Structure 1
């Protein structure tokens, strides 16, 4: 007679796993995942600049006061970090648009370089090149507003401060090109790339004679699809302006981006994401890759928004999002999915099974740096009912613990992307701008994982007789 666990495993293998595999291999979702991976250097260099400023400006100012010797002596480093930020986070959406167009075009076996260029041009074609800015005029009292107005300046009083209203010309706000513009880059990247792909596959192209260099032939072949793609996006943008008075990015942020990011910040959404990653891994499917559209599409923009706000304000209280993609990495996925470093420690202390101890000893050095495939497939954990409960439970509990500390304000939200190989505690410390308690929370989660894994390691001792040493 089959047990309920056998029935569950069979249902998952026949119903859930095939669907998850299709989702993971869907071309558009895979292109989103691969595009974010492609521009990881841009994310990391921007994060490094932010992290350096934390230790060069923010912490010295907190400890030594304004105009301290550390910040003053390293002023040129701060200036360089500002330039790096302009070349990374300020143009993140544009980099993503190109990478996404390239990846999606390649998925359809058409010229990826042309697809990336067309997607980038199409996204820029939807942007407002005459944004309005409001600058607060320091040391100007409301009494001077009359004179300023007489001089032809557009001034207004806002909360007792005099602001100057300026309309830019041939300018693009970093709100469009940075993290805030990611959803627009994704939507118009899909539209433009699919127009280019479909026209190319239907041979609506300029064909040159044989013997023409391939680079020239590909460039001419992309002209008609590229022109149509850019015009389609530009027409859609102008329709938005004509019908609503707003550019597409404003509408997308208001009605799509903010609601989705708001939902992603709810405790059930965060816990469910962590749970699904584990469930997929149990069946041998790379959970992080299948869930990449959620992790990269929702939680990465949250991380980038936090970083952008921090760079502008240096105020933890103003960070808009409490949970980001790096929050998973720092608190519930360090040492890899399932926090298997806790399992490795439990095996080394309590296991009497020689084969388990060998796998643990070989996997420990890699586990410290968040590589745990040897444990997942070597124990194995995949499709092993013995480890199903702790495998699913550990990351969920760790996520809830970290959420409790973050949502109550005991530790700041994660706002810096750190290299994924950072050992437990160090990654959380750096990702929160040098918060010691955040590092201790990660270590607490390691202890919790050890406690949860230990009974199942002892249970494994009783299931199989240990070999004689």
Structure 2
């Protein structure tokens, strides 16, 4: 029987490794992941200014206005300079980062592909009429246009690659320096790519729509419905943990698919909050990071409370502080949790349980929905993150409740695994 169990484990691990390897080696998935990671720091930076502009404390705005002797709109507007130049143009930034990333993986001229993709993205971007004439609104290049940005970057690079591989380009003499010849060699691939996207813009104009709306309503809407549901989040968390269980980096694989979807939902909440309305999307990037990820830390807390074996007691003491900052490697490798079938049930399910319970708390109005004004790094400690992303102490209380819940889930399993460890230590 043990041999059959080991054979099944090895077979399943091998198949899962092949799948993860295929995902990890897929240049398009990796490009999306890398592009989103490159964009993330700007969301953190802008969030600092948004926190100051819309601080979640009653009377703060009046206090600052009285000290500065000006209307709140004046000093808030100056803080929003950074936001308007970063998060507010999230789609534009992602168009740049993804085209740069995929061009590098295709071994193309990254600068020329990036510039071509930027031109193509602006060609597809709908214009609005203003007193000054034709203009592009910030909404048209915000995170709401992120799906359009991703597709523009990927397809621009692919078109460029096809033309480049066919050798359809202006060839300069070998004596011409690469810095001079490269722009000329990219002229024809860039021209063809731009003509194709220009034709797409003419088609959308003729249909009375625009590329951003069309993509969001056809591709984006189904993705948001699935990825933006509590069941989609729970599945993503279980799958992420399954990859981690077999030693694969589940976070990097799942984030490549989930982050663009969650960021769109986050941006919708942020726009509503800035307009003085209540956010409507329970599922968002903040929810996924700071409420749906409270699970495995319960195993560390459970070990601190009930463990008697020296290994579990020492590892839990070492792992508890890093885990409150989202760093789980000491626990994953120290207990260990990976490939430990005594702990597989809570390891796979605790994050999903925290996601479902948190969703219910938001849905029934016990906790205000995350505002989108504050986008924190995953290393932000629990309690602090809950307060900041919701703008309410109830967000912090919910995280505490989730901590207690997942700890209770882990306790019986930690007790069994700890007893085995204790017996082994006594034998030695």
1:26 aligns with 2:26: yes
8 Å CA contact 1:191–1:233 kept in 2: the answer is no
Look up the match of 1:246. Answer: 209
Look up the match of 1:235. Answer: 199
- Deviation of residue 123 (structure 1)? 0.6
Q: Within 5 Å, give how 1:244-323 maps onto structure 2.
A: 244-311=207-274, 313-316=275-278, 319-323=279-283
Bigger Cα displacement from structure 2, 250-259 vs 299-308: 250-259
Pairing partner for 1:396 from 341, 348, 352: 352
8 Å CA contact 1:93–1:185 kept in 2: the answer is yes
Look up the match of 1:377. Answer: 333
CA RMSD in angstroms, aligned pairs only: 2.3
Look up the match of 2:64. Answer: 70
- Deviation of residue 237 (structure 1)? 1.4
- Deviation of residue 467 (structure 1)? 3.1
8 Å CA contact 1:208–1:217 kept in 2: the answer is yes
Give me the whole-angstrom Cα distance separating, in 1, the residues matched to 2:272 and 2:165. Answer: 43
Pairing partner for 1:93 from 91, 94, 114: 91
- Deviation of residue 4 (structure 1)? 7.7
- Deviation of residue 363 (structure 1)? 2.2
Structure 1: 5+ residue stretches without partners: 133-165
Look up the match of 1:190. Answer: 154
Pairing partner for 1:463 from 409, 412, 420: 420
The structure number with the bigger radius of gyration is 1
For 1:352-403, what per-residue CA distance to the aligned partner results, in whole angstroms no more than 9, with x for missing partners? Answer: 2222333222222312211011211222211111110110121111111100
Q: Give the 3-state SS of the residue equivalent to 1:170 in structure 2.
A: strand
Look up the match of 2:365. Answer: 409
Gap change, CA 1:411 and 1:213, over 3 Å in 2: farther
Structure 2: 5+ residue stretches without partners: none
- Deviation of residue 234 (structure 1)? 1.1
Q: Give the 3-state SS of the residue equivalent to 2:343 in structure 1.
A: helix
For 1:278-299, what per-residue CA distance to the aligned partner results, in whole angstroms no more than 9, with x for missing partners? Answer: 1111111111211123321211
Look up the match of 1:159. Answer: none
8 Å CA contact 1:387–1:456 kept in 2: the answer is yes
- Deviation of residue 225 (structure 1)? 1.1
Give me the whole-angstrom Cα distance separating, in 2, the residues matched to 1:203 and 1:323. Answer: 47
Look up the match of 1:418. Answer: 376
Q: Within 5 Å, give how 1:174-185 maps onto structure 2.
A: 174-185=138-149
Q: Give the 3-state SS of the residue equivalent to 1:182 in structure 2.
A: helix
Q: Give the 3-state SS of the residue equivalent to 1:467 in structure 2.
A: helix
Look up the match of 2:78. Answer: 80
Look up the match of 1:358. Answer: 314
Pairing partner for 1:104 from 77, 98, 102: 102
Give me the whole-angstrom Cα distance separating, in 2, the residues matched to 1:261 and 1:43. Answer: 20
Look up the match of 1:332. Answer: 292
- Deviation of residue 211 (structure 1)? 4.6
Look up the match of 1:172. Answer: 136
**Stretches (4+) displaced over 6 A:** none
8 Å CA contact 2:326–2:379 kept in 1: the answer is yes
Look up the match of 1:48. Answer: 48
Look up the match of 2:120. Answer: 122
- Deviation of residue 2 (structure 1)? 4.5
- Deviation of residue 6 (structure 1)? 4.6
Give me the whole-angstrom Cα distance separating, in 2, the residues matched to 1:308 and 1:122. Answer: 26
- Deviation of residue 77 (structure 1)? 4.1
For 1:67-86, what per-residue CA distance to the aligned partner results, in whole angstroms no more than 9, with x for missing partners? Answer: 82334435464122221121
8 Å CA contact 1:34–1:103 kept in 2: the answer is yes
Give me the whole-angstrom Cα distance separating, in 1, the residues matched to 2:210 and 2:132. Answer: 15
Gap change, CA 1:291 and 1:446, over 3 Å in 2: same
For 1:94-150, what per-residue CA distance to the aligned partner results, in whole angstroms no more than 9, with x for missing partners? Answer: 110010000001111122222221111111011223x25xxxxxxxxxxxxxxxxxx
- Deviation of residue 264 (structure 1)? 2.4
Pairing partner for 2:305 from 349, 366, 374: 349
Pairing partner for 2:388 from 422, 426, 430: 430
Give me the whole-angstrom Cα distance separating, in 1, the residues matched to 2:296 and 2:213. Answer: 43
Pairing partner for 2:410 from 450, 453, 462: 453
Pairing partner for 1:386 from 342, 364, 372: 342
Look up the match of 1:138. Answer: none
